[in-house]
Amino acid sequence: MIVVLKPNITKKDEVAVLKEIRKLGYKPHIMRGVERTVIGAIGDERTHQSLETLAVWPQVERVMPVQKRYKLVSREAHKANSSINVRGTIIGGKKFQVMAGPCSVEDEKQLLTTAHAVKKAGATILRGGAFKPRTSPYEFQGLGEKGLKLLAKARRETGLGIITELLSQDHCELVAEYADILQIGARNAQNFQLLIAAAKTGKPVLLKRGLSMKVEEWLLAGEYVLANENPNLLFCERGIRTFETYTRNTLDLSMIPIIKQESHCPIVIDPSQGAGRSDLVLSMCKGAVAMGADALLIEVHPNPAEALSDGAQQITLEGFARLMEELKPFIAAAGKE
């Protein structure tokens, strides 16, 4: 069940509703919006008294059943779009956001050069992998904590928030110490214990779609984050595995309106992983903006030919600056700033 509280009620009134929900055998999950607070009440209505009686309480606006398996991420649970604040950068709001940086943090010069360049071009969050999930055990695995420290230095110099991938529960506290957003990659999209651990850090979580993940599976994976009292969830479409080999993956831009219909959480598009080819990144970005995405996650490198990972899909610093200029009319046409 979903309990929507009236705007501007007191903390005492809110606590009274939460106490009643628990008394009736449900577990409440609070989602705070700009004007209203929504409480998702998780429990089996077949064995517990219905919460519909709460509708008569003066501090309650309405009580609604949720029919889908995913409760808290659903649009039924939260009619208004959610937004996430990352060091003053709002994802899911009026302003379109761009996260950019290298696939892997390789050294200080590479990272700082990229960080300053993407900020100058208009990026608002710096991406960079410190721990890298590689198909082969012989490929570059990332710098680990050294890479996290370099990301922190880049943040101090540029003011950009940091997004980096979390691979293991063993690294959870370490990565959360440095990162502003925890990225859960495609290979871990249904690693539920990792999702729970990430959620419990309180940091925003960007959940990439798995390589062969159905929409319901993706939404249910996101449910693990919200169900563990972390309302800061971002979905990220990064391409799925199909029969096609012309591109690395098939970037499914239809996920933008689908996620917008099914969920209140922001949707981010990763065109670099999605296509696996730098020459297609600009077109995919334009399509994502036009279809209503909230943000982009783009791989940028000073010299992609010398990159230690995924050089073919990373664009140059100059290419990123051109991309940002060409996106401006598309962002305006989409009603964003």
Q: What are phi and psi of 179, to 5 degrees?
A: -85, 150
Q: Which of 285, 211, 222 is nearest to 259 (CA)?
A: 222
Token representation of residue 47: 């064995």
Token representation of residue 334: 């989409």
Mean per-residue pLDDT of the chain: 93
Evaluate if residue 103 carries a pLDDT over 80: yes
Cβ atoms 70, 235 nearer than 8 A: no
Residue 223 exposure: Cα atoms within 13 Å on the Cβ side: 18
The DSSP code for 57 is S
Evaluate if residue 75 carries a pLDDT over 80: yes
For the chain, give every domain's residue range: 2-64, 84-333
Residues whose CB is less than 8 angstroms from the CB of residue 114 and which lie 6 or more positions away in sequence, other chains included:
101, 102, 126, 128, 300, 301, 302, 317
CATH code of the domain occupying 84-333 = 3.20.20.70
In one-letter notation, the amino acid at residue 276 is G
Residues 141-185: tens digit of each pLDDT: 889 999 999 999 999 999 999 999 999 999 999 999 999 999 999
In one-letter notation, the amino acid at residue 274 is G
With H, G, I as helix, E, B as strand and everything else as coil, classify residue 233.
strand
In one-letter notation, the amino acid at residue 39 is I
Residues 19-30: tens digit of each pLDDT: 999 999 998 988
Q: What are phi and psi of 142, to 5 degrees?
A: 100, 165
Write the class of the CATH domain 2-64.
alpha beta
CA 232 centroid distance within chain: 8
Q: Report the first-to-last Cα separation within the chain, whole angstroms.
A: 36
Q: Is the dihedral of CA 320, 322, 328, 333 positive or negative?
A: negative
pLDDT attached to residue 331: 97
**Quick one: which H or E segment has residue 42?**
strand 37-42
With H, G, I as helix, E, B as strand and everything else as coil, classify residue 98.
strand
Q: What are phi and psi of 334, to 5 degrees?
A: -85, 0
Query: What's the average model confidence in pLDDT over 98-108?
Result: 96
pLDDT attached to residue 34: 67
- DSSP labels, 158-205: H--EEEEE---GGGHHHHHHH-SEEEE-GGGTT-HHHHHHHHHT-S-E
Q: Which of 132, 136, 135 is nearest to 105 (CA)?
A: 132
Query: What's the burial of 24, exposed, middle or buried (CB within 10 Å: 0-12/13-18/19+)?
Result: middle
pLDDT attached to residue 164: 97
Q: How far apart are CA 128 and CA 163, in angstroms?
A: 7
Q: Give the percent of the chain with pLDDT over 70.
A: 99
pLDDT attached to residue 241: 94
pLDDT attached to residue 50: 80
Cβ atoms 269, 284 nearer than 8 A: yes
Residues 262-316: tens digit of each pLDDT: 999 999 999 999 999 999 999 999 999 999 999 999 999 999 999 998 899 999 9
Q: How far apart are CA 2 and CA 205, in angstroms?
A: 23
Beta bridge partners of 3: 39, 63
pLDDT attached to residue 274: 94
Q: How far apart are CA 149 and CA 28, in angstroms?
A: 37
**Quick one: which H or E segment has residue 64?**
strand 60-64
Q: Give the percent of the chain with pLDDT over 90.
A: 81
